[in-house]
Structure formats: C-alpha cells, structure tokens
Amino acid sequence: MIDPVQKIFRFQPDRSLYPETGADGKPVIRLDSGKFIKVWQGPNHPGVTGNMSLELTISGDEVVESKTHVGYLHRGFEKLFERRRYIQCFPTCIRMCVPEPDTNEYNLARGTEELAGIEVPETANWLRMLALEMARLQVLLRMVPGQAATMGLGLGAQWGMYFRELILDRFEELTGGRIYHMYILPGGVRGMMPDGFRERLGENLKKIDGFIKDIDKLIFHNAVFRKRTIGIGHIPADWVDHYGITGPVARAAGFKRDVRKDYPYLYYHQINFDYNIEHDSDVFARFLVRRKDLETTVDILRQIMAKMPEKGIIRAETPNVLHWRIPKGETYVRCESSRGEYGFYMVSDGSMYPRRINLRGPSYTHAVSVLERLLVNANISDISSIMVSLATCPPEIER
C-alpha cells in the first residue's frame, strides 16, 4: 500500500535508458562521456557509519554504481587473538564493535567454556542476560532516533544520547566501565548487582517509556520522515537468504529471524517476547522494527529483573587464566546483537593460545554485498539513510 505522503511527493524517473548494460549485464560507465561523475563518501563523513567509504558513480543525482571500501582501521583482531592467551583476548575482542562490545564478551566467554567444558552458574547467566539486553537498549536508544539525523532532524538523536547515558550510568555502576565493560568472563561474570541497582534501572526504564512515545510523535508520525523513508532502500525477500541477511533487516522483510528464539541460549526460553515483523522491507520498515525492538528490550529487562535471583554464585572455578591450556577442539557460538546474528567460530589446538577465532558479524554482508547493490538507482540524498538503516559497524568487517 502506497503511503498518502508518497503519492504527493514521490517522483519515479525513467531509468530504462541509462546507464547502458554490456553483454555481461553490468552497466557501461565511461567517465569521459560526460554523463557520469565519480565521488567518494567517507571515510570522514557524518553520513558514514564509521571508518569505511563508498566509491560512488553518479548520473545527475542518482547512483549508478557503488563500491564499499574498507582498510582504514588495520586492527587485525583475529590475528592478534592467535598471539594472546584466552583471557588477554577480552580487551581486544570488545573493540570489534564499539557500540555493543558485550556481544563479543559473551561469545568469547561462551566459546571458551564450551571448549573447556565449564558449566556457568545460574545467577551468572541471568547477569549475562542483563548485560546483553542493557547493551542492546543503549544501542537502540542511539540508533532509532539517529535515523532521522541522517535527514537533518538532530533533535531526536540528541534526546536519544541523553537516555543512552542513563543506561551507561547503570553499566558504570555494574561493571566499572561506561563503554568497554569486560564484565562477562569465562565461567561467569565479575560482580553482582550493587544495592539499589534494580530500583535505579527501573526508574530509567520508566523514563525511556515516555521517550519512545516522544520519538513516535517527532519521527514516525513526521510527514517528511515518512516521505524520505517509505519505499526507499527496498530489499527483495529473495535477497535475505542469498546474502545472509539477519536481525532487524531480515525481520523487516517478513522473516522470523532472532537467535534468542531460533537457537535459545542463556535463559531466553523463560522470557516472554515475540518476533517484531514488518513486510515492506524499506528504510521505514527497518526502523519500525527497531522501534518495536526498543519497546521489547525494555520489557525483557523488566522480566529479567523480576526473575533474577537475589544472590548466588556468579563465577565457576577456572584454572589460572595465565597458564590455562584449553582442550583441543572447535565450536561455533552465537547470540542476537542489535544488528542480527553475531557468531564466533573458535578452534583450540590444546595450547594456551587460540588457534583460530573468526567473527561472523552481520555488518560484513550488510555493508558490502547488500549496500553496494541497494544503492544502485538511489538518490544521493538517500545514501546515508539507507546505510544507517542496515546498521553497519566497520570494525566487524575489517577485523
């Protein structure tokens, strides 16, 4: 169904004549013809989601070809893991996605535990769920109103950063750190909730309930936002499995994809929540799914706080971590990040160092294969909006 706003404002140009396609089906682009120009967006650009850039060939104000370029970070995380003891990998792995480092902590800890045969105490697993959902919440608080900032509406993003700071206050209280936490370690977590933590987090969640209603009025009911997002960046359903699309991007195309429900881990099977699904698979649908995820995450946090034991063992016994030899083997562990399925493939050769740790993050496919194809025929003013709707995190790609 076409939105009434789209009927008024939307203009569909005839792209059948340009650019011409060759025998291989690819566009024939001759820069010396005067019909095309090559421009770069990024790596230092407010409309790029980190240290990456787009090489764009445009005709007028429309993109005819896009190429994603990485290589601006040169961190080499996965190779560094092979030169560090398992416990030394934690300060490194959290930098593979700065906005949501706890997913890396969990996967590295869980993979180590599976290889070493360690059973995590119940209370520690509830605390891990708490940290993971708090991480998801602070990302969504920044991301959902941040979509409008790509179109010049910065007020919502500023509001979101304030409410995100409230959750970072709770992280600092729980872990000692605001951004990097290193709270989840092999065998459990580093500490129990401090006195009064439940009450303070509960007060924060009440304020966020009001904020969600405010961003509905400011953004989702905004005619300009709807005009700039409905029908823009449409992802066909047959791309989802072909490109390995996961998380909110897949759910916006009508697919029920959520690791927490498809492959339950921790105690998510005891939590009552459902898939948030849309079917239009455009920028608006993807952020409507994330807006619903924001509401769902608040509810999940309340359920976790209600079900979590008041006290208990928070860490299983482990050998001396500086001399710990993990038994030979391999495993794949995963969790649901705010961007989709986030997995670690880990191999141990029986030494004190990992033989191989490989990250499977959603950004790799979303920001390269999908984005390059999705931007073709897009207006240059929509590039940032489309990119942000895919929620790319460049360190996941260049690792």
Taking only the tens place, the pLDDT of each residue in 143-161 is: 898 888 888 888 888 999 9
Question: Residue 43: its pLDDT value, please?
Answer: 80
Q: What mean pLDDT comes out for the span 197-205?
A: 95
Q: What mean pLDDT comes out for the span 247-269?
A: 94
Q: What mean pLDDT comes out for the span 88-103?
A: 89
> Is 94's pLDDT higher than 70?
yes
Nearest to 344 by CA among 356, 329, 328, 353: 356
> Is 206's pLDDT higher than 70?
yes
pTM equals: 0.90
Task: Using a pLDDT cut of 70, give the percent of the chain over it.
Answer: 92
First to last CA, the chain: 41
Given CA atoms 83, 368, 283, 246 in this order, what sign does their dihedral have?
Answer: negative
pLDDT, tens digit, 9 for 90 and up, residues 14-57: 555 556 666 776 777 767 676 788 888 878 776 677 788 889 98
Specify the higher pLDDT residue, 12 or 70: 70
> From the CB of residue 387, how many other CB atoms can be counted at a distance below 10 Å?
26
Give the pair of three-digit tokens for residue 306: 């209600």
**CATH of segment(s) 89-324:** 1.10.645.10
Q: How far apart are CA 328 and CA 115, in angstroms?
A: 8
Q: CA-based angle 3:287:381, to the nearest 5?
A: 70
Question: Residue 74: its pLDDT value, please?
Answer: 76
Nearest to 103 by CA among 322, 287, 340, 327: 340
Residues 39 and 77: beta-carbon distance below 8 Å: no
Question: Residue 97: its pLDDT value, please?
Answer: 86
> Is 399's pLDDT higher than 80?
no
Give the pair of three-digit tokens for residue 225: 């936002």
Spatial neighbors of 136 by CB under 8 A, at least 6 apart, are 100, 293, 297, 337, 338
Question: Residue 337: its pLDDT value, please?
Answer: 93
Question: Residue 29: its pLDDT value, please?
Answer: 73
